[in-house]
Structure 1
Amino acid sequence: MTKEAMTERAAALTVRQVSVRIDGKDLVRDVTLEVPSGEVLGLAGPNGAGKSTLLRTLYRAQRPTSGQVLLDGYDVWRMPGRWLARRLAAVLQESGGDFELSVYDVVAMGRTPHKRAFDGDAPDDRAIIADALERLDVADLAYAPFDRLSGGEKQRVLIARALAQRPGTMVLDEPTNHLDLRHQLDALRLVRGLGVTAVIALHDLNLAAAFCDRICVMHAGEVVALGTPHEVLTPALFRDVYRVDAEVSAHPRTGIPHVTLTTGGSHPMT
């Protein structure tokens, strides 16, 4: 299938002065972002920085205390859920529950926004589902029970479900969690190659540098850095935000910034 056949049209995503306050605590404070159509934005920061909370406002799991989230100019909180589900897919950190369903059935759930109630899978649906299973290397697990899978296999199935949704925009919260090195690279290459607008929370900043157009770093609920990997990934950022010492150099083959953490001894950590 062509890239165009596998996705809805990529949309511009705007976060306008979004704040989230829960139980008297500010989790996100006055965040403003513009993610142009087709851009892949990496979202980084230490634990508790507000990344997951901000992402939840994008796919309508957490209503902002103030501010707006716009998809191509439409306030996602004012549009019907079905409208959003046809345009935006979310892949979360948690497995989504131990579904008593087969892998095929879980991935097929991604087609639901595009069908009427009680419709079965049309030939086009089955082709999209099969393609998603193949792209995430889980076709051989299609009829295995989802709740019997390993954490990494579940994560690949959930990414396949999002792909089957044919979104123009994807929100992914630590999608490489539980994945081995090969499948981490495969998953990020896939998202990068779809041509969708994507916001991806990643702890691994070397992966963020390799696959994201820009990186947004959050700390204590606020955006503290936003720009290209070359602009954002600096020793000062690691010292001020992460409280670690790091060296940042250009990868000898790609020229992409490469982060090496220093442990304080003679052995660096990459």
Structure 2
Amino acid sequence: MADAEALEVKLIVEDVSVQIGDRYLVSDVSLEVADGEVLGVAGPNGAGKSTLLRTLYRVRRPTSGRVLLDGEDIWKMPAGWLARRLAAVLQESSGDFELTVYDVVAMGRTPHKRAFDGDNAGDKAIIADALDRLDVAGLAYAPFDRLSGGEKQRVLIARALAQQPATMVLDEPTNHLDLRHQLDALNLVSALGVTAVVALHDLNMAAAFCDRICVMDGGRVVALGTPAEVLTPALLSDVYRVEADVAMHPKTGVPHVTLHTGGSRVTN
């Protein structure tokens, strides 16, 4: 995790709104992410998390506002410029690739090569390292479309790693992963030292791995700060409509959320 106050700003979201028809999916969101900081984005379903993340990797153009990476408006820069600096891991793969796992991970090297260039020794070493770090080296020549959901997710994270970006945007990267691989994936992102924006449903994972957490509700940012500042019983009641206790974990020293079960849902 980074000491955000000691680092330069890497990513700026400036008054970003996304509107479809009369409905605002994201409304007037502004935030800054420091170089090397891991920012978690949390909130209930439909809060606008995925829409906001899509504006960061230039899939969804904001209705108003702008996104700056390294001081540049991403919508004014060539696609290749962004691809060399930012990698995205989405909730779902874009169809079933008719490729091997190795081929999918190798796609991460594309922004760094000219058209029709093959993989040189350096590329192959980077690809092999990414496969190994995500525990999918043994699947290198398996068809991607025959993998389980968890295996596919690890391959897509490996592809992003092979891209060697300075900034990563990850939308629910622990989706489909078992507990061990959830920890492995988030430990890896934290250890890379890259700037990362990570949407997570699991608040305890967010508290453990994120420098700060941005909580969204109804398309707006309703809380932004350290896990200890943000994860409070009052916020969980207001945003998630649940009752919960929050205490510092005795071993990790980070906030730990324990939900009240058995009819404890907040109704007013």
Structure-2-length-normalised TM-score: 0.94
Corresponding position of 1:54: 52
Whether 2:79 is the aligned partner of 1:72: answer no
Q: 8 Å contact 2:9–2:32 — kept in the other structure?
A: no
* 1:128-139 equivalent positions in 2, closer than 5 A: 128-139=126-137
Corresponding position of 1:6: none
- How far 1:11 sits from its partner (Å)? 6.9
Out of 187, 194, 197, the position equivalent to 1:196 is 194
Identity of aligned residues (%): 80
Out of 96, 112, 115, the position equivalent to 2:113 is 115
Corresponding position of 1:163: 161
User: Structure 2: how far apart are the matches of 1:151 and 1:264?
Assistant: 31
Which AA in structure 2 matches 1:107? V
Whether 2:37 is the aligned partner of 1:15: answer no
* 1:139-218 equivalent positions in 2, closer than 5 A: 139-218=137-216
* Per-residue deviation, residues 49-72 of structure 1 (Å, max 9, x unmatched): 000000000000000000010001
Q: Matched residue of 1:27: which SS? A: strand
User: Structure 2: how far apart are the matches of 1:144 and 1:168?
Assistant: 29
Q: Matched residue of 2:259: which SS? A: strand
Corresponding position of 1:38: 36
Q: 8 Å contact 1:11–1:168 — kept in the other structure?
A: no
Q: Matched residue of 1:127: which SS? A: helix
Count the aligned residue pairs: 257
User: Structure 2: how far apart are the matches of 1:23 and 1:148?
Assistant: 39
Which AA in structure 2 matches 1:226? L
User: Which runs of at least 4 in structure 1 moved beyond 3 Å after TM superposition?
Assistant: none
User: Structure 1: how far apart are the matches of 2:9 and 2:146?
Assistant: 36
* Per-residue deviation, residues 193-243 of structure 1 (Å, max 9, x unmatched): 000000000000000000000000000000000000000000000000000
User: Structure 1: how far apart are the matches of 2:9 and 2:135?
Assistant: 27
CA RMSD in angstroms, aligned pairs only = 1.1
Out of 225, 228, 233, the position equivalent to 1:227 is 225
Which AA in structure 1 matches 2:115? A
Q: 8 Å contact 1:95–1:151 — kept in the other structure?
A: no
Corresponding position of 1:5: none
- How far 1:264 sits from its partner (Å)? 3.7
- How far 1:23 sits from its partner (Å)? 2.4
User: Structure 2: how far apart are the matches of 1:96 and 1:135?
Assistant: 23
